[in-house]
Structure 1
């Protein structure tokens, strides 16, 4: 009995048990809970005080008590962000008491930089950001574009990894099949942040999202607050925080390519006073793929604790342990000399039986906020991020004939340790009619990396040739390779070892000034970077400014403009990058203006941004198959574009997330004169995405929901002249049904089974998009 069959048997048992119990009610109490702005108050707790019977509202705020005896009791409703509601109720045997719509008042509470408790609002829309300015600031008051992907959108689309979630963001596309992206047409490979603290990117695995509340993409250079960052934008993962009410949920999923996944979420208080809270997110997946030889087994365990002993001190501890066992997919190859994208089947890979990628990441972060008085607070955060990666893989060395290749072998072990330490004071004061929020801080980021690597060969193919076998692209046979018999290619029979380290210290000051309808944000950072030792040592000092202004045209519409500069020096990675000349730090600057609006009584948010980013010394692959680790630095690249996003609810039934980007990224100076004037690789002129969800809340279809959406990209250049990826548009859809605490959902991605290319370096390393796939998910919340 395979795991998909077991999944459906379990699903059928749980659903039938719930339906039977739902039919055996004596008396009941039901109703709907909404906030003062008439939006549903999902998952709030409802208690019959005297009987000590509890339940929880569903995602639409509906609740139901069943099998009740005759009683005279007090109904108590509580939830994060709401004032407690109490109401006397009395029912007789067999009575069905409809309480109608219950309105909850908001509990107005000043939040601090450190998010200690989780949010209760359930929407595709996010209202604020802590990490864009290191203060709690409404998104429409921040003078730069910030895209967010909430956990509600992630869950509705059944996206398990960061690489999937970023498809919902305007101006973000895939640069390769690794953890590399194009943000606003600019290559992005720097590590993402976790709650504003720097991690490490091995580039071969994508983070799981089990413990993620939302994904933020802060567009443009963000160096003024976060040191070296990618010029197109910075990715920040905001993790789920503990809730003061007990909540538990289980999700099981199964689908195409023998996919199976599961996750649990548990939260609540650990003591009677509620000062100590916990949350545990854990889960895993096991799947194959349409690509020959590919598989993925992974898990994540992420406990979180918050401690609030008084009104002044707040502390968070977040831990995440994740492990991935998979293989590296180097993309679909091609026959020798051809420019055709389909000279071999899309399923073809040169992954050999026994190849593996094993990676473990351990993240431990402690953050705290202390309020000295109503005007001064201190925030601190410390993150330790440890990575261990073992890689064993075969690849293409060179061609024997038009369809046959020699194989090489590479074995690599990498360990890294990254420490991020941040401290800053926040001062609030007034001078006349001016309101000030002044931030003064210090950051330290340091990474140490060590790795060993060796390449194999078999003497039968010639000493020093680095060949371990042959492989036919048109008639592939996947054989178990005798890796233990491979000799080291190095004549000394030793491993190539490398170590790298870098450290950067930054001091910064930021002023948020408010006067009537105007808001000004001005920041300045002094960066002190050093890496390497002895002859390889590099030391760079840099001043990085940012200035932005916002004007409140109306209560709901803001206009803004901003200018900032970025900086990205060389840092150690898990790839042994070599350059054809001395490395120069990457410098960037951005001009941006736009408009942000909250529509339909704050149910829907929209934004429009116009920008120009210029970057110098961008690193790109030298596109030399014989030297895959060789990189070159371009002279200058310029990106200009327009982005727009729409997120939230049009009605109580209809929610949506829509994104569109128009971008032109041109190479304006280059060491290769033939590149000047060309559009940069993997940077489409047009890209867009959408997801619409409609829930039936009344009548015979109550509980049913329908979803649909798309992902689109225009044509893209690659690093290989004459090889262009065509544009594509794929359609996705889903259906779901919820009853009491159960939710069942079915999603179909790529409905029409469109063949498309997601990204490419060249014709030998290109990555096909997924064909049609199906995923069914069962969720139970209690």
Structure 2
């Protein structure tokens, strides 16, 4: 069966299912339940779990503290309100046919009992990253996956690679010089851009260091193009890190992770009110990590400190200020090369073999200030302002490897410089609801501005440090390395992005049908700013583009737990001549036009098993036109031609596929996170590569299943067992399709125990010690992935 027929079969089946569900719905007499939850001082309480325990229906409150349960069969119910650290409350209510039952305002009361985690599961979870209007996933006409604290703790995760393997269509592509530097990702067949596709609470951050730290509450992944909200982005998707916020009750948690290969990772998370009225709240997260590696000579250290303050001077006004400091130092790891230039040959070297120099350290330091102010304009409107300032420094001190000769002698090239980034962002959003007749409008109006400048030292370039280093008998500390102390260059590279955007989600038929319409007017300007403009060469020009980015979508909900959706979105990426200074034909880069992405997507979302298990099935097609790329003069061995490369444009690439994601609870004791994908990502037309080649870094298939089981026996209360299987098919590392990695399947296992405020968990990753590799951007370099590793965590709340 062809791919197109598979998509048609899935969509037709879903359509028939929706019709039958709609017919069943029509014969039921139903009503609506609505209400508001507030804190003790009258402020709206967000993310409070609200459920009708008689039928297992539930939702969570939005940013205004409101909740709505629609299509509830007429009858008598018990409404339950739950929130971590507060007493559970119940209210009796009567739902009448065709009417809305308004629950009197609920005020949270702090509990003195042991805290228990309350989670909203499946598609009932809310996000503001996709629409900035804080909606349930079920009502958003796009595929969005959220990895929250449940998965983080179950898998003992402390890096992005561990988390993203749970999301369909998202793949770790490789790293910049080792596991503890920073990681590259591919989504829906396309590489994510380090300067465009990563966000922190919706604000852009550079992908130049470790992102996942203990101040991250959840990782949201919005799949496909998202230019309407974020400007120029690569079309694979946007990864957003949602940070932990201050709590209204005293919370203290100390955790220690220890593991094989010298892992030591203590973390502290403390939060609570600073005054009696609880209008001033704080939270502090801090982490220290040191670790060796299964790779010889490699080690790393990292620290993170993130204090946060929230001030609620009135029930309508809220301000949150955050500061984050991160620093990482790690030995550069260039990976392995194959003795004979084939993928099979790389296995002749042990996974632990190190071909670099531990003296070469990748250092990364990042400081960021973030401000979020929100003000309620009446009951239906909110104004939200975000400001951020970030200053980042890094030293990419690395070795590039050539192809060894028959005796294993290797040419190694030194590449190093210093760099800083100065990043500033401001945004203003107005959101609210308006009723026009029978149509409800959820509106968003906004504007944003983003600016980042970066400067390099003048020493950047490839220098041969030795040609006699032997891959079979390595001897370290013999190469003559030159540590960079050169002055900064006379240019600053910059991005400047601004935009005006508007969006309306129209709801009719009691929210059964929702139509999303959005438009963004963009202005992106990037290039080099010279200290002395007379120094600018004719080939180095500043580029300004003003594309228009639309987004349309529709949601149909025949049942409160089921929705079908379809959407169309676009993206663009600016191609600046300054990105290709040093190319053999760099003069041709002055005429490069933007790269465009267009996605059509359709799917079904459902909350099954009493709304405990959320499922999303999606079919998509992405067309990427005017692709700009580069290729080396010697494609088999870039070092052989001293890394001479060419730039080109005019390519057309396409990715289409099916994705399935599921998360939640199958039973009260068994939680599951699962994913599967089938993606065909190919070159349709390209000046440098053969039409029909698969896109590099994009496996055709992949799946994952993680299950966590809480043993229900009274004598074993608190015991949990976890097990997971993670699979990725083989893929080509580059668009040349010269070498294909082997597919792999790894397994993880875990056992944990919780008693009151104490918890411990042992996780073993790559349980069968599977050997597998990733191929990065060089056709001769391979990255061996982690061997079997045990990590023990011990945590206490106090």
Write out aligned runs for 1:201-600 (5 A): 201-202=207-208, 205-340=209-344, 341-396=346-401, 399=404, 402-454=407-459, 466-468=464-466, 470-479=468-477, 481-483=479-481, 498-516=491-509, 517-532=512-527, 533=529, 535-570=540-575, 578=583, 580=585, 581-582=588-589, 583-600=592-609
Hey, what's the Cα distance between the residues in 1 that align with 2:87 and 2:582?
A: 56
Hey, what's the Cα distance between the residues in 2 that align with 1:614 and 1:120?
A: 43
CA gap of 1:591–1:471, structure 2 versus 1, over 3 A, is same
Alignment counterpart, residue 121 of structure 1, candidates 110, 118, 122: 118
What corresponds to 1:26 in structure 2?
none
Once the two structures are overlaid, the 10-residue window that deviates more, 287-296 or 742-751, is 287-296
CA-CA distance at 1:570 after TM superposition: 3.7
Hey, what's the Cα distance between the residues in 2 that align with 1:629 and 1:594?
A: 45
What corresponds to 1:730 in structure 2?
746
Hey, what's the Cα distance between the residues in 2 that align with 1:294 and 1:36?
A: 54
- Contact kept? 2:50, 2:82, Cα under 8 Å: no
Alignment counterpart, residue 611 of structure 2, candidates 602, 614, 633: 602
Once the two structures are overlaid, the 10-residue window that deviates more, 433-442 or 398-407, is 398-407
Please state whether the residue corresponding to 1:359 is helix, strand or coil: strand
Please state whether the residue corresponding to 1:155 is helix, strand or coil: helix
Hey, what's the Cα distance between the residues in 2 that align with 1:183 and 1:372?
A: 39
CA-CA distance at 1:107 after TM superposition: 7.4
Please state whether the residue corresponding to 2:175 is helix, strand or coil: coil
Alignment counterpart, residue 168 of structure 1, candidates 160, 166, 179: 166
CA-CA distance at 1:293 after TM superposition: 2.3
* 1:141-167 residue CA offsets vs partner (Å, 9 max, x unmatched): 000000111022012111112232111
- Contact kept? 2:371, 2:386, Cα under 8 Å: yes
* 1:91-123 residue CA offsets vs partner (Å, 9 max, x unmatched): xxxxxxxxxxxxxx997699xxxxxxx996347
- Contact kept? 1:337, 1:402, Cα under 8 Å: no
What corresponds to 2:199 in structure 1?
193
* 1:552-602 residue CA offsets vs partner (Å, 9 max, x unmatched): 021110000000111111479999885844133221000000000112222
Alignment counterpart, residue 676 of structure 1, candidates 688, 691, 697: 691
Hey, what's the Cα distance between the residues in 2 that align with 1:726 and 1:152?
A: 31
Hey, what's the Cα distance between the residues in 1 that align with 2:495 and 2:276?
A: 46
* 1:242-290 residue CA offsets vs partner (Å, 9 max, x unmatched): 1101011111011111111111111100110001111111112111111
What corresponds to 2:721 in structure 1?
706
CA-CA distance at 1:469 after TM superposition: 5.7
CA gap of 1:226–1:245, structure 2 versus 1, over 3 A, is same
Please state whether the residue corresponding to 1:483 is helix, strand or coil: coil
- Contact kept? 2:503, 2:517, Cα under 8 Å: yes
CA-CA distance at 1:622 after TM superposition: 1.9
Write out aligned runs for 1:43-54 (5 A): none
Hey, what's the Cα distance between the residues in 2 that align with 1:444 and 1:520?
A: 28
- Contact kept? 1:123, 1:152, Cα under 8 Å: no
Hey, what's the Cα distance between the residues in 2 that align with 1:519 and 1:82?
A: 35
CA gap of 1:495–1:211, structure 2 versus 1, over 3 A, is closer
Structure 2: segments with no counterpart, 5+ residues: 1-48, 59-80, 91-102, 109-114, 177-182, 530-535
- Contact kept? 2:401, 2:781, Cα under 8 Å: no
Please state whether the residue corresponding to 1:163 is helix, strand or coil: helix
- Contact kept? 1:82, 1:107, Cα under 8 Å: no
Please state whether the residue corresponding to 2:138 is helix, strand or coil: helix
* 1:354-404 residue CA offsets vs partner (Å, 9 max, x unmatched): 111111011211011111222332111011121100233333356565510
TM, length-normalised to structure 1:
0.81
CA gap of 1:276–1:605, structure 2 versus 1, over 3 A, is same
* 1:286-339 residue CA offsets vs partner (Å, 9 max, x unmatched): 111112222121011111111112121111112111000102322221225445
CA-CA distance at 1:776 after TM superposition: 0.8
CA gap of 1:261–1:680, structure 2 versus 1, over 3 A, is same
CA-CA distance at 1:737 after TM superposition: 1.0
CA-CA distance at 1:545 after TM superposition: 0.4
Hey, what's the Cα distance between the residues in 2 that align with 1:571 and 1:196?
A: 25
CA-CA distance at 1:512 after TM superposition: 1.1
CA gap of 1:307–1:34, structure 2 versus 1, over 3 A, is closer
- Contact kept? 1:502, 1:571, Cα under 8 Å: no
* 1:20-63 residue CA offsets vs partner (Å, 9 max, x unmatched): xxxxxxxxxxxxx9976499x9xxxxxxxxxxxxxxxxxxxxxx
Hey, what's the Cα distance between the residues in 1 that align with 2:484 and 2:280?
A: 57
CA-CA distance at 1:499 after TM superposition: 2.2
Alignment counterpart, residue 622 of structure 1, candidates 603, 627, 631: 631
What corresponds to 1:139 in structure 2?
137
Structure 1: segments with no counterpart, 5+ residues: 1-32, 42-76, 87-104, 111-117, 458-464
CA-CA distance at 1:79 after TM superposition: 4.3
Hey, what's the Cα distance between the residues in 2 that align with 1:606 and 1:329?
A: 39
- Contact kept? 2:231, 2:499, Cα under 8 Å: yes
CA-CA distance at 1:213 after TM superposition: 0.9
Hey, what's the Cα distance between the residues in 1 that align with 2:520 and 2:615?
A: 31
Once the two structures are overlaid, the 10-residue window that deviates more, 132-141 or 624-633, is 624-633
Please state whether the residue corresponding to 1:164 is helix, strand or coil: helix
Once the two structures are overlaid, the 10-residue window that deviates more, 375-384 or 395-404, is 395-404
- Contact kept? 1:359, 1:390, Cα under 8 Å: yes
- Contact kept? 1:242, 1:305, Cα under 8 Å: yes
Hey, what's the Cα distance between the residues in 2 that align with 1:778 and 1:574?
A: 47
Please state whether the residue corresponding to 1:637 is helix, strand or coil: strand
- Contact kept? 1:124, 1:150, Cα under 8 Å: no
CA-CA distance at 1:496 after TM superposition: 6.1
* 1:204-246 residue CA offsets vs partner (Å, 9 max, x unmatched): x331321111100101100001111120100000111111010
Alignment partner of 1:716 is 2:725:
no
* 1:683-710 residue CA offsets vs partner (Å, 9 max, x unmatched): 1111111210001243221111100001
- Contact kept? 1:128, 1:139, Cα under 8 Å: yes
Q: For this pair of structures, how many residues does the alignment match?
A: 675
Hey, what's the Cα distance between the residues in 2 that align with 1:232 and 1:288?
A: 33
CA gap of 1:293–1:371, structure 2 versus 1, over 3 A, is same
TM, length-normalised to structure 2:
0.79
